[in-house]
Amino acid sequence: MPKDAIGPIVQGQGISLTIDGQAVMGNKGQTILEAALAHDIDIPYLCYNPRISKTGACRICLVRVNETMFKTACTEPIAPDMRVVTEDPELTEIRKGILEMLLAEGDHNCLYCDANGACELQNLVMRYDAAMPSGDFPRRHRTIDEASSKGLKRNEDRCVLCGRCVKACAEVQLNNVWQFTGRGGNTHLTSDLDAKIGDSTCVNCGTCAQLCPTGAITLQPVLGRGANWDLKKESSICIYCGVGCKIDFFKNKGGQLVRALGHPDGPNQGHLCVKGRFGFDFIQKPARLSKPLIRENGAFKEATWDEALDFVAARLKEIKAQHGPDAVAALTSAKCTNEDNYLMQKFMRAMVGTNNVDHCARL
């Protein structure tokens, strides 16, 4: 999680406590989990996410407080001189028990799950050496809807009812598509009033999928596929509107784009819209221009770079000599970088000798 989400210690409001024997300072109002994460102390969790309000549903983050009490670290505020233990044999046993119940309840087969290798449940199952409990458990098959939506796939057999998707939609995207319905063992997700996601009011921002700790809600593939552990990640800035969302782009071994996730440090604070989430495969479309073209007798002919550049330069020189620099004009681009734009206006002013340079700021 980004540390700046916690913020610096506010003067005069610091609270000192110990976590696993380590003296720690936190701010009033912080939870044990937030104080721990700010100090790189690892407490496992499933339902917590810094971008949504606290839930306290999964109980994985249970810690021992002042020797005698168990508290959910994600909801319990820190207090002066609090003594927190994040792992001991009893806590390990509790966590393992919770994980095994989750495994028994769902149908978590990693082999054909999109989240395989990027699954928070899988990581915890490995960490705590949890396994499917033996015995005959009643299992309810829940909704699998992988086709109705252009943007999302839903497989509730992989759902751990953490509620992150419900809160992502209610607090980040503010569309309120996801809800829990039913009670007890019947509790399950629903989009709108039991509509399929594709028929719901979902706007395909994909934030629920980004926040889902398992493979219950995943993004429809856009272009490339690949195992999560083979994907390479690099961040850049979205090409669409002026918000300037920072996006982590993932590509597979073959260099194809696979998915886009919102980056927490950008102005978007991790959020994306449907364009930032899904609107990037154009860049690997075969129709992309790949060679310079020069029109000859009305039709385009492929040319080398030298031919094309020589042609443009020669014609610009001729036109400038014949009609003066103000007979030349250029449109620079709000889709290009500052460096591209700077160079275009420098070119027009210093090399052509005209101020005839503009772009689509007015459109």
Near other proteins in 242-271, by CB under 8 A: 242-246, 249, 251, 255, 257, 265-269, 271
How far CA 220 is from CA of 145, 172, 178, 228, in Å, comes to: 11, 20, 17, 15
What is the largest distance, in Å, between two alpha-carbon atoms of the chain?
91
- Report which of 62, 93, 88 is spatially closest to residue 76, judged by C-alpha positions: 62
**Residues 262 and 268: beta-carbon distance below 8 Å:** yes
| Minimum gap (Å) between residue 293 Cβ and other proteins | 4
Nearer residue to other proteins within complex by CB, 19 or 209: 209
List the interface residues with other proteins, window 288-307 (CB under 8 A). 288-295, 300, 305
Are 152 and 122 in contact by the 8 Å Cβ rule? The answer is no
- Of 215 and 266, which CB lies nearer to other proteins in the complex structure? 266
Helix (H) or strand (E) holding 255: none
Regarding 178 and contact with other proteins (CB under 8 A), the answer is: no
Helix (H) or strand (E) holding 71: strand 69-72
8 Å CB contact between 290 and 300: no
Calculated CA dihedral for residues 334, 339, 342, 346, nearest 10 degrees: -130
Which residues touch 215 (CB under 8 Å, ≥6 apart)?
113, 114, 115, 116, 119, 155, 158
- From candidates 101, 104, 110, 328, binder to other proteins by CB under 8 A: 328
Shortest spacing between CB 251 and other proteins, in angstroms: 7
**Ranges within 179-208 binding other proteins (CB under 8 A):** 203-205
Nearer to other proteins, 71 or 263 (CB): 263
70 interacts with other proteins by CB under 8 A: no
Minimum distance between the CB of residue 236 and other proteins, rounded to whole angstroms?
5
- Residue 144 interacts with other proteins (CB under 8 A): yes or no: no
CB of 46 to other proteins, least distance (A): 23
Among 79, 144, 147, 329, binds other proteins (CB under 8 A): 329
> In terms of CB distance, is 66 or 236 closer to other proteins?
236
